[in-house]
């Protein structure tokens, strides 16, 4: 029984995971004692201790979430999402598209075929854009890192504000009736119907997609985590506490829009940007400003604009980035007010 074996392997791995994760503190304390690190009073010893505990914690969390997301995503596909979005009313369509954007497998290199596929099926422009905003901006790697480094509240804020921005930006664009800014050839395309639609997928195959996701993502981002946490633990001891306060603190009212503007040309994956956000926060940047910066870097990117330029005319790209950017700025201000 191949399938049973797979299932037991997963259960065994989960047990090992839980065992390590919930004993990390003890394990790292043990390492610190044996290596004599805990007896050193200097600041660098604290930095190393922080690093030894934080890196395995974040990588463990990431592996688990990416694995589970790989399984969950195998239940979704752009084709199914499209079918769900057909004939939905405007606002409901935006909500559904934004939520599905989290779960549907998406790569920005497929943004154009996906856009055409949606529009051609009669899904309104605004609903399609809600999907295209949510899919890259709400990212499981970012979620895990925020959860691991800042706690569940920050992670929840990130998801809910990301959803709100995707829903309302798409809704507003839908209301503005901007169809004239879509390249006309998009509407002329007659895409063929695919035949062999649903192949049979067993739960064993879904477990495999979990492993593939872990292999794909973790193998790409582990180095960013090590560098990021490394920079973070160094800054921990050596950069003055209020270093960023003047530039990105609450008192600087202009810091939110400036952070968003700076974030657009910067292009990084979530794993690379979050450790930077961590340093910014630790050194006096306010939460709203740091979150706005992060969302702008991962949600709005020049490469994506270039890709979308194939199907959208220039004014539309500006409106798209303008509205999403404005949404991020509003979220940034609200968080600076609350916290």
Nearer Cβ to other proteins, position 56 or 105? 105
**Can you tell me which of 4, 41, 180, 190 binds other proteins, judged by CB under 8 A?**
190
**Can you tell me which of 55, 65, 69, 116 binds other proteins, judged by CB under 8 A?**
116
**Can you tell me which of 48, 51, 62, 78 binds other proteins, judged by CB under 8 A?**
78
Instruction: Give the separation between CA 279 and CA 58, rounded to whole angstroms.
Output: 16
DSSP class of residue 196 equals S
Nearer Cβ to other proteins, position 35 or 110? 110
DSSP class of residue 192 equals P
105 binds other proteins (CB under 8 A): yes
316 binds other proteins (CB under 8 A): no
Interacting positions 207-266 with other proteins (CB under 8 A) = none
**Can you tell me which of 12, 20, 109, 314 binds other proteins, judged by CB under 8 A?**
109
Pair 62, 223: CB distance under 8 Å: no
Stretch that binds other proteins, among 52-60, 71-79, 128-136, 284-292 (CB under 8 A): 71-79
Residue in this structure with the two tokens 């630790």, named with its chain if needed: 282
**CA angle, 234 then 236 then 237, to 5°:** 75
Q: Please state, as a whole number, how many other Cβ atoms lie within 10 Å of the Cβ of residue 78.
A: 18
Residue in this structure with the two tokens 């994760």, named with its chain if needed: 21
112 binds other proteins (CB under 8 A): yes
Site size with other proteins, rule: CB under 8 A: 25
CB of 7 to other proteins, least distance (A): 21
**Can you tell me which of 3, 8, 185, 238 binds other proteins, judged by CB under 8 A?**
185
Segments in the chain forming alpha helices (H): 2-21, 24-35, 43-73, 78-85, 90-103, 111-120, 125-137, 140-150, 152-175, 184-188, 203-238, 245-248, 255-263, 270-282, 287-299, 302-308, 314-338
Nearer Cβ to other proteins, position 19 or 192? 192
Pair 63, 13: CB distance under 8 Å: no
200 binds other proteins (CB under 8 A): no
List interacting residues with other proteins (CB under 8 A): 77-79, 82, 105, 107, 109-110, 112-114, 116-118, 120, 185, 189-196, 310
């Amino acid at each position: 029984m191949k399938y049973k074996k797979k299932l037991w392997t997963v259960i065994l791995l989960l047990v090992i995971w839980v065992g390590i994760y919930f004993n990390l503190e003890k394990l790292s304390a043990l390492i610190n004692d044996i290596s004599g690190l805990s007896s050193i009073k200097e600041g660098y010893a604290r930095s190393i201790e922080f690093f030894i505990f934080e890196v395995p914690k974040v990588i463990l969390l990431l592996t688990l979430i990416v694995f589970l997301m790989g399984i969950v995503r195998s239940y979704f596909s752009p084709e199914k999402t499209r079918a769900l979005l057909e004939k939905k009313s405007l606002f409901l369509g935006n909500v559904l598209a934004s939520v599905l954007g989290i779960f549907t497998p998406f790569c920005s290199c497929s943004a154009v075929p996906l856009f055409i596929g949606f529009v051609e099926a009669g899904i309104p422009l605004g609903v399609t854009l809600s999907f295209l905003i949510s899919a890259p901006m709400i990212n499981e790697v970012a979620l895990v890192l925020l959860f691991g480094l800042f706690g569940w509240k920050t992670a929840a804020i990130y998801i809910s504000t990301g959803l709100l921005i995707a829903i309302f930006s798409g809704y507003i664009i839908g209301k503005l009736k901007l169809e004239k800014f879509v390249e006309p050839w998009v509407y002329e395309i007659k895409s063929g119907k695919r035949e062999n639609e649903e192949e049979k997928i067993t739960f064993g195959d879904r477990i495999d997609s979990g492993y593939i996701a872990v292999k794909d993502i973790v193998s790409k981002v582990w180095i960013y985590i090590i560098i990021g946490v490394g920079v973070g633990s160094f800054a921990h001891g050596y950069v003055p506490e209020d270093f960023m306060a003047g530039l990105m603190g609450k008192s600087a009212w202009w810091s939110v829009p400036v952070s968003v503007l700076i974030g657009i040309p910067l292009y990084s994956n979530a794993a690379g940007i979050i450790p930077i956000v961590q340093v910014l926060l630790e050194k006096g940047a306010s939460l709203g400003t740091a979150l706005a910066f992060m969302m702008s870097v991962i949600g709005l990117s020049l490469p994506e604009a270039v890709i979308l330029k194939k199907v959208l005319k220039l004014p539309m790209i500006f409106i798209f980035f303008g509205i999403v950017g404005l949404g991020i700025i509003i979220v940034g201000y609200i968080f600076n007010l609350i916290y």
